[in-house]
Chain A
């Protein structure tokens, strides 16, 4: 087998791998750490108002349930669901929708990225 063929084969396999990845999920967690995000979600008591799969006692019925939120198109009724927008929404909900019932709980930008990364894994 000559070198050309080998390179072509490798490239083909790479494309295949990329396809498999993208069909499973967007794969983009926005640079946050979902495991740290899960801990923050517990400590901020997000589950008092939201149903959140994988989070202990997260059975709230105040805000929308977050099962499959990673597949949702629009968040907060007005933002495209990207990890960046999700991080902004969970950090500054009162800036996005002033007067809504979800408080600014004082997350740092890094914490908000972690929370958004966890939510992105809910598919």
Chain B
């Protein structure tokens, strides 16, 4: 009985020592800046995996609590295309369309979205657009675009997976600037 107690105590002490070492190590990383904060080098694989999977699961969890998405009309997608051209294409590119050159300097790298609608549900896409993604360069568009704008962007992303480079060019040619408030987003 006494021996067992002694073993238990030792185990507890070993755990405490281990925890203290981890805590000290973490504090050391913070105090001495022993962490690569440059954007010129990609994340180490473990950090890339942990941050990305955490983001995916957080988005899925939040999107599940949303009411079902609105039904999209072709006009919504067309408005979404204009918004995409004005706000998104420089970082996310399009079919046959590269991102702006300086975007290669971002870590994590903003992805092309040709298959975004296969990876994410409409609610999930809306959540990402509306709320942004922390610790990436993805802004929350809740301040600068309206709720309707953000849903229209999702409506366009649903179409994007079916657009060839030629389709995209046709859309671009057809998108005349909206009379009046083309560049001015409506208030949220």
Chain A contact residues, CB within 8 Å of chain B: 39, 42-45, 47-49, 56-57, 60-62, 94, 99-106
Is B49 in contact with A56, judged by CB distance below 8 angstroms? yes
- Asked if B59 is at the interface (CB within 8 A of a chain A CB), the reply is no
In the complex, residue of chain A having the shortest beta-carbon distance to the beta carbon of B107:
A43
What A residues does B87 contact at CB under 8 A? none
Q: A43-B42, A48-B112, A56-B49 are in contact. Are A99 and B166 (CB under 8 A)?
A: yes
User: Which residues of B106-137 have CB atoms within 8 Å of chain A's CB atoms?
Assistant: 107, 109-115, 118
In the complex, residue of chain B having the shortest beta-carbon distance to the beta carbon of A57:
B52
Q: For the complex, give the distance between the alpha carbons of A101 and B110 in Å.
A: 17
Which of B18-26, B93-101, B144-152 lines the interface with chain A?
B93-101
- Asked if B104 is at the interface (CB within 8 A of a chain A CB), the reply is yes
Min Cβ gap B47→A in Å is: 9
**Those 3 A-B pairs whose CB atoms lie nearest each other, nearest first:** A48-B111, A103-B98, A45-B109
Is A49 in contact with B115, judged by CB distance below 8 angstroms? yes
What A residues does B107 contact at CB under 8 A? 43
Min Cβ gap A41→B in Å is: 9
Is A49 in contact with B112, judged by CB distance below 8 angstroms? yes
Contact partner of A56 (CB less than 8 A), chosen from B43, B95, B111, B165, is: B43
Is A61 in contact with B165, judged by CB distance below 8 angstroms? no
Q: A99-B166, A100-B165, A101-B165 are in contact. Are A43 and B109 (CB under 8 A)?
A: yes
